[in-house]
Amino acid sequence: MPEGDTVFNHARALHDALAGATIVRSQFRIPSLATADLVGWSVVESTARGKHLLLRLRDPSGTEATLHSHLRMDGSWRTFRPGERWSGGPGHTIRIVLETPTVTAVGYHLHDIALIPTAEEHRFTGHLGPDLLGPDWDPPTAVANLAAQPERGIADALLDQRNLAGIGNMYKSEVLFLRGIGPWRPVGDVPDLLGVVTRAQRMMAAHRGRWTQSTTGSLRRGEEFYVYGRAGRPCRRCGTAIRRSDEGDYERVTFWCPSCQPE
């Protein structure tokens, strides 16, 4: 599952490459949009809402549409210059190709692709809580949303995009380690929820415009994180073996130190 900062960075890169330009060729390699044609539409902006990527378009008559996509575990948007080799992945994973006179944007492994009136974006984003990297970021509301289900485990609650939008398994695991909170501790027993969401927001915000993620400050391979991806290896603080659990669902995988993060 991508983190909100990854989606944010994809959206910004697309914006920088496409905003203001007119589409001269479009191709949708998915059945539901196989006949869609965006030639003549111009790109108004590209933005992220939580983990949802919104490419806003306008046609010459002023009609506004949004191309929605979700990156899930494996999706990406890449941009290439004309004639440049497309290097984002195997051809069969390509879902969308958008060409302007100067850039070709290629969407790989995209999910939940939809072309909708911009006024109906809420169908995809209306359920989201405050976006950690959005202009609507609002820590008290995020805390109130979390606190509304006091019995729920904190790791699970942080991942629920209805509470706050943008956290994936990496930031979830890292912020709980940094706050010394066991991932299954009930939300109602977490003493400082505001501290948790504020810390998560700071970590994510530091990755705006940065494609390499690190919460430790080190970019050396294997040293980027405190617990994420480090199952079986010694905790950086206490030496205890880091543990991993996915409870049968890889999309919810959690890493933690059982000594530093008591339940």
CB of residue 258 vs Zn ion: minimum separation in angstroms?
8
252 is catalytic: yes
64 is catalytic: no
CB of residue 177 vs Zn ion: minimum separation in angstroms?
8
Which residue in this structure is represented by tokens 């949009």? 33
CB-nearest residue to Zn ion: 235
Across the beta sheet with 104-108, what order do the strands follow? Answer: 25-28, 94-99, 104-108, 76-80
Residue 211 CB contacts under 8 Å (≥ 6 apart), including other chains: 9
Six token digits for residue 102:
């100067």
Complex with Zn ion: residue 55 or 235, whichever CB lies closer? 235
CB of residue 79 vs Zn ion: minimum separation in angstroms?
41
208 is catalytic: no
Complex with Zn ion: residue 77 or 226, whichever CB lies closer? 226
Six token digits for residue 233:
């290896």
Q: Which of 3, 99, 121, 174 is catalytic?
A: 3
Complex with Zn ion: residue 72 or 236, whichever CB lies closer? 236
Complex with Zn ion: residue 111 or 237, whichever CB lies closer? 237
Contact 47, 87 (CB under 8 A): no
121 is catalytic: no
Residue 180 gets the label, from left (phi > 0), alpha (psi -120 to 50) or beta, of left
Calpha distance 131→152 (Å, rounded): 21
Strands 94-99 and 25-28: antiparallel
CB of residue 169 vs Zn ion: minimum separation in angstroms?
19
Complex with Zn ion: residue 155 or 257, whichever CB lies closer? 257
Q: What are the residues binding Zn ion (CB under 5 A)?
A: 235, 237-238, 240, 257, 259-260
Six token digits for residue 111:
């999910």
CB of residue 202 vs Zn ion: minimum separation in angstroms?
21
Residue 234 is classified by DSSP as B
Q: Which of 72, 243, 244, 252 is catalytic?
A: 252
Q: Which of 49, 51, 152, 199 is catalytic?
A: 51
**By three-state DSSP, how is residue 263 classified?**
coil
Catalytic positions are 2-3, 51, 252
